Structure 1
Amino acid sequence: MLRRSPVMLALLTLLAVSFVSPLQGQPAQAQKQKAKGNAKAKQNLVPKGGQRNVYKQVDDSELPLYVYSPEKRKPNENVPAVVFFFGGGWAKGSPAQFETHCQHLADRGIVAVNVEYRVTSRYPVKVEDCVEDAKSAMRWVRANAERFGIDPDRIAAAGGSAGGHLAACTALVNDINAETDDLSISAEPNAMILFNPALGVAPVDRMTAEMQQKMAAVADRARGSMKAVSPLTFASTKQPPMIMFFGTEDDLLGPAKLFMEDSEKAGNSCKLVTYEGQKHAFFNREPYRGLTTQEMDKFLVDLDWLPPASQR
């Protein structure tokens, strides 16, 4: 039998440590970094402020919304509410997008609600599921109106991009509802505030050829036909007052104008505010976040949901 000297044994031990430790340590470090990244991503989903409430549970997942209530209000006063849905192509995003809007409205004296809904990067869902969640959230807010001092007849749906699409769907798409929803409670808003919403998500002949191609490219995001979840399909039906904000360089402006044309022909109130030279998602940054917030305020004042800013 070969006898190994103490020096040789020490050398073999050193080599073993040198080769094994990096292989063992690297996965541990990677797992630590991944866990840290997941925790940060989860933290980014939670908006600042607002009272967390679970409006729906799907399998093992809780879907929360965040209620921002005004600090000062008259005793037993029921005030309007605005329910926000974030954007992100039904694939990503978080309620943090609208936390400043919610806080602004609470400061102005009405309730704001910031909704988390399922998106494809975190759940195995399609657009129909997102629509279901949006309608479930609207029903939850109306069902809990007394608890939060909300006037159930003055609840607006608001959102940006895909979230604007969902807000519009709560008013226009009647045939998609979660099985667990109480359908005796209306999900329909009394007004809509939409930030560059996706209102035409299925090809129609009136669209440009380029836009039709873009719409055809997202057809797989729906379980069925995208036409069934396209607000443009239902633009000629009765709907609540709407305001929408667009940059003039936004590809989604064209379908929105088609929607507005059909909506106004049907006798609905549909206001479009544009911002020269701006592209999609412009409202997420200043000065346009502030400018669109001011226009939102004016819209709510015109509805008699808010007092003029000078009377604060």
Structure 2
Amino acid sequence: MKNSKILLILFLISFSFIAKGQVSYEPDETLIYKTTPQTTLKLHVFKPEKHKKKDKRPVVVFFFGGGWSGGSPKQFYQQARYFSERGIVAISAEYRVFKKHNTTPFDCVRDAKSAIRWVRVHASELGIDPDRVIASGGSAGGHLAACTGVIEGNEEVGEELKVSSVPNAMLLFNPVIDTTEKGYGLKKVGEARKTEISPCSHVREGIVPTLIFHGTADKTVPFENVQRFTKLMNEVGNSCELIAYEGEGHGFFNGSFFRKKNTDVIFNSTMEKAMEFFKELKFIYK
């Protein structure tokens, strides 16, 4: 019995040392940013080491994918930790989805705009710079991030609209960018409203700098959609870069934390290119 206790203590000590050497993909804090009739919505916050409220760090807000029907903030935990380790506050946001809350893509867009606005309103508490807010996400979450930067209106009733819900940059992973018959989501937004929250239909001068990652073999969100969006953006003088991953399909960017069978080769590639994008914008904390 005595030997068993000793072995248990040694195991726990060993485990604690191992754990200290591993990266934690759990958020450092969760904060409620919105209360809706269906649920309360939280931000899963990842902080740089020794982060203080007086800091004015850049912040990136991620929205998970799942066709506006499901999904989890965990999808972007690995990306969030990557950026937090490099001095950027990173947040993976919850939003309402159809399977849990019987909501529509229009509700999702309002939630995304609420998240960006809340982060900006609470900049001093979060230790972030309200003028260096990056919206990001994948697939339907990439659509939400794009909508915060492109779609005017569709704001949540009762919020402080004097504070902008428009980010200062967008980082998009295989985003839904056209909700008409040419893209993805027509059945979910409806024929009568097919262009209302379709970023391709709302490109204009003055949209924030954008970087897009997309697989050329994506069978869910056609590669043509992001090619067209990029062309439209650049034609009116906006800065938009598309980085194509040849032969890759939908969700190619997920790291090994969220997709256990994935290696981190492509994950690391997208993260390195994202950091280059941030540096060009001076969205790096010094």
Q: TM-score, normalised by structure 1?
A: 0.77
Percent of residue pairs bearing the same amino acid type:
39
Give runs of aligned pairs for residues 120-139 of structure 1, distance below 5 A: 120-139=98-117
Residue number among 177, 186, 192 corresponding to 1:219 in the alignment: 186
In the alignment, which of 203, 210, 226 is matched to residue 242 of structure 1?
Answer: 210
Q: Does the aligned pair in 1 maintain the 2:109–2:148 contact within 8 Å? A: yes
Tell me the equivalent position of 1:281: 251
User: In 1, are the aligned partners of 2:59 and 2:133 still within 8 Å (CA)?
Assistant: yes
Return closer, same or farther for 1:253/1:113 CA change in 2, 3 Å cut-off. Answer: same
Of 68-77 and 52-61, more deviation after overlay is shown by: 68-77
Query: Gapped runs of 5+ residues in structure 1?
Result: 1-46, 204-211
Aligned residues between the structures:
251
Q: Secondary structure at the match of 1:122?
A: helix
Any stretches of 5+ residues in structure 2 without a counterpart?
A: 1-24, 255-261
Which stretch has the larger CA shift, 136-145 or 223-232?
A: 223-232
CA contact (8 A) 1:172 1:237 kept: no
Given the superposition, is the C-alpha separation of residues 109 and 242 from structure 1 closer, same or farther in structure 2, using an over 3 Å criterion?
same
CA RMSD in angstroms comes to 1.7
Asked if the contact 2:204–2:236 (Cα under 8 Å) also holds between the matched residues in 1, the reply is yes
- 1:301 Cα deviation (Å)? 1.3
Corresponding residue SS for 2:172? strand
Correspondences of 1:132-151 after superposition (within 5 Å):
132-151=110-129
CA contact (8 A) 2:32 2:41 kept: yes
Shift of 1:236: 2.7
Asked if 2 retains the 8 angstrom alpha-carbon contact of 1:64 and 1:115, the reply is yes
Within the candidate set 142, 155, 159, 1:181 is matched to: 159
Measure the CA separation in 2 of the matches of 1:85 and 1:117: 8
Q: Does 1:202 align with 2:155?
A: no
Match of 1:165 in 2: 143
Q: Which has the higher contact order (CA 8 A, sep 6+)?
A: 2
Partner Cα distance (2:229, 2:39) in 1: 35
Alignment correspondent of 2:226: 256
Does the CA-based 8 Å contact 1:84-1:115 persist in structure 2? yes
Q: Tell me how far 1:120 sits from its aligned partner.
A: 0.7
Deviation at 1:182, TM superposition (A): 1.5
Structure 1 stretches of 4+ with a deviation exceeding 2 A read: 72-77
Q: Distance in 2 between matches of 1:293 and 1:62?
A: 30
- CA drift at 1:266: 0.6
Separation in 2 of the partners of 1:301 and 1:240?
A: 15
| Corresponding residue for residue 14 of structure 1 | none
Q: Distance in 2 between matches of 1:63 and 1:77?
A: 25
CA contact (8 A) 2:64 2:138 kept: yes
Deviation at 1:180, TM superposition (A): 2.8
AA of the residue aligned to 1:233: S
1:193 partner SS: strand
Q: Distance in 1 between matches of 2:125 and 2:51?
A: 14
TM-score, structure 2 normalization: 0.83
| Aligned equivalents of 2:31, 2:79: Cα separation in 1 | 19
The amino acid of 1:142's aligned partner reads R
**Structure 1 residue 268, shift from structure 2 partner:** 0.5
Letter in 2 for 1:243: L
Q: Tell me which of 45, 48, 53 is aligned to 2:26.
A: 48
The residue number in structure 2 matching 1:272 is 242
The CA deviation at 1:247 is 1.1
**Over residues 198-230 of structure 1, what are the superposed CA-to-partner deviations in whole Å (9 max), with x where a residue is unaligned?**
111113xxxxxxxx3x64xx3331265020000
CA distance in 2, matches of 1:182, 1:300: 28
Name 1:16's counterpart in structure 2. none
Deviation at 1:133, TM superposition (A): 0.3
